[in-house]
A and B are shown apart, each in its own frame.
Chain A
Amino acid sequence: MSVQESRENFRRSRKEAFVALAGWFFAFAWTIIVSYWLGRETPAPLLFGVPRWIVLGVALPWGFSFLFTCWYSIVFLGERKG
């Protein structure tokens, strides 16, 4: 282990953490805003047989979060060795 390697690992890890936090914040904001914007009507209007706010406010951001996870894990982390 060299000083150079330690420094590289620290900087990369910090960058990876910031990107993870940015992805988290996007999912958080989307989910809360859309769910509460669309979800207060009773009974809830349906879309594909499911309450519309679930499709647009939970399922869709969850799907995007998974795509983000794929990109983050395979492309973003995958190209980094340290």
Chain B
Amino acid sequence: MEDFKFVLPEGSPTITFAFAAYIIITLVFAAMAHFRSARGRFLDEFFVAGRSFGPWVLALTWVATMASGGTFVGAPALGWQNGWSVLLWICGYMTITVTGMGILGKRIAYLGRVTGALTMLDLLRDRFESKALSTVFAVLTLFLYICYLVAQYVAGARVMEVALGLPYWLDLVILALSVTVYTAFGGLRAVAWTDAFQATVMLGGILITFALALQYVGGFDGLNQLLVATAPELTSLPGPNNFLPLSQAISFFLVWSFTPLGQPALLSRFLSTGEPSVVGRATFFNGAYVLLLYPAIMMMGVMSRVIVPNIAAPDQATPATIVAVVPAWLAGVVLAAPFAAVMSTISSFLLVTGGTIVQDLYQRNLKTELDDNKARWISQGTTLVIGIVALAIAFRPPQYLQYIVIFAATGLAAAYLAPTVMAVFWPRATKAGAFAALLVGMGSFGVQYVFYGSRSWLDMDPFIWSLVLSLVAGITVSLCTSPSNSEVNRVWFGEETP
């Protein structure tokens, strides 16, 4: 294999055309959703799309929200660095559909329909009858998700900068304006319809690159002969520089399997279907999508090691491989895949952040009811303001941003998961118990993260110990306090009122 010199065809007409076409199609989907959503009650339409989603849209919006810019850039970079061991690193995803959708999905869809909840914090507030609990969660979600939004803006603008050759500030403005406007005016329906399109682009882009890369290296035989000849440790465990010892393999399997259950942006999707049986069919579509997407991404990363061995930084593995193996006329379409992942994540997080302010902080704490016009004005205005705030920060992102993003990805799940599971599956759970689970989950995660980084006791991710401690605290405090209101337990669990 000859040495590859990493030079992207910056600003080439085909790439510019493909990106422009991609953004225009995305906006067309958003406009169609906007006109469709104008028929229903505004807040129901904006946050849960009238609970009208079918299995395809639910499955695709779920997976598109889950996949971020890091999935297409950071994960293949790990494959370039560490070889085949990266497949064991990612393979908690083999069960992500069943754990993510099977455990909580149908239950949340049902409870959303019977309680009328528009956000996940609505559900927790109703279950534990506590504005304070949902306010603490709301503030936490708001802060961490805005940081996450900034990181996604930066990632998306970097992809555009490399692909289109435009200045960083202009890429940021184009990205932020397009996503913020369609999210603000189309609400969840626009977010989900564009997610479905973006998920298709992602899968298509990765499968094309994977097939061409495999042909380029001479099939799996050719790939492994080259790996064994140059760096045999790339074919075995734990990978180079002890990348994935047994403890870390266990740790990542647990982290990838269970963190989606603690992400409000993912859980709130289940509120968008009024028929719990839809979740069953969505689970099938989602499982098929994950099976096709994630192994292909990781193997593309492994192949990039022999296709582009001399890149300056591992993060260049994806774009460099695309340029090396994909014909120029198709490269723009394929490069749109990581961009699509960034856009879908931004729109989903933007909507959850907007919902947190409008529904969880404003309407529930300050006002009792909003008429449709006022709700529209406040929801759209809030979404636009959050988009602009994140854009302003992204012009000069703080140096510690990446640390906050990692904290947001697993730290929020550590705080959120135990109270959510207790709320929907345990009638004996109490408000005090939920508070204890939240505080212990978040507090213990913060302490571990500060003192041990991403490898805590027994070399495990801090999320795992925080989840255990959070559950223990929640159960113990619940058992020591008075049971919940019997009317709540009647609606949620069907307990007979004495």
Contact = CB atoms under 8 A, between A and B. Distances in A.
Ranked nearest first, the 4 interchain pairs of A and B with the lowest CB-CB distance are A7-B494, A77-B280, A49-B220, A6-B494
B110 interface: yes
B279 interface: yes
B237 A20 contact: no
Given A35-B88, A49-B221, 17 more contacts: A1-B114, A4-B494, A5-B494, A6-B491, A8-B494, A9-B494, A13-B107, A13-B424, A24-B257, A39-B237, A58-B91, A65-B98, A69-B98, A73-B102, A77-B102, A77-B283, A81-B277
Contacts of A13: 106-107, 110, 424-425
A62 B291 contact: yes
Interface string A3-18: 1111111100110110
A68 B221 CA distance: 30
B490 A6 contact: yes
Nearest to B250: A32
A69 B494 contact: no
Nearest to B220: A49
A59 B84 CA distance: 12
A49 B224 contact: yes
B279 A77 contact: yes
Given A53-B236, A58-B91, A66 B287 contact: yes
Contact of B98 (A41, A57, A68): A68
Contacts of A62: 91, 94, 291, 295
Given A39-B237, A49-B221, A77-B280, A24 B490 contact: no
Nearest to A38: B237
Given A27-B95, A50-B220, A77 B106 contact: yes
B88 A16 contact: no
Q: Which of B224, B494, B495 has the most CB of A within 10 A?
A: B494
A69 to B, nearest CB: 3
Interface string B214-225: 000001110110
A40 B237 contact: yes
A55 B106 CA distance: 33
Given A31-B253, A42-B232, A16 B106 contact: yes
A65 to B, nearest CB: 4
B90 to A, nearest CB: 9
Contacts of A70: 284, 287
27 contacts: A4-B494, A6-B490, A9-B110, A13-B107, A16-B106, A17-B107, A19-B102, A20-B98, A24-B95, A28-B95, A31-B94, A32-B253, A35-B237, A42-B233, A48-B220, A51-B236, A53-B237, A57-B88, A62-B295, A66-B288, A69-B97, A72-B102, A73-B102, A73-B281, A73-B283, A77-B102, A82-B110
Nearest to B90: A58
Contacts of B490: 3, 6
Nearest to A43: B232
Contact of B236 (A7, A9, A44, A61): A44
B249 interface: yes
B276 interface: yes
Q: For the complex, would chain B's binding face be called helix, strand, loop or mixed by DSSP majority?
A: helix
A54 B491 CA distance: 48
Nearest to A74: B284
A6 B288 contact: no
B106 A65 contact: no
Given A70-B284, A77-B277, A41 B494 contact: no
Contact of A40 (B104, B236, B424): B236
B493 interface: yes
Interface in B110-166: 110, 114
B235 interface: yes
Nearest to B424: A13
Q: Which of A23, A66, A68 has the most CB of B within 10 A?
A: A66
B235 A17 contact: no
A63 to B, nearest CB: 8
B369 interface: no
Contacts of A72: 98, 102, 283
Contact of B253 (A3, A20, A28, A59): A28
A18 to B, nearest CB: 9
Contacts of B220: 48-50
Contacts of B288: 66
Contacts of B95: 23-24, 27-28, 65
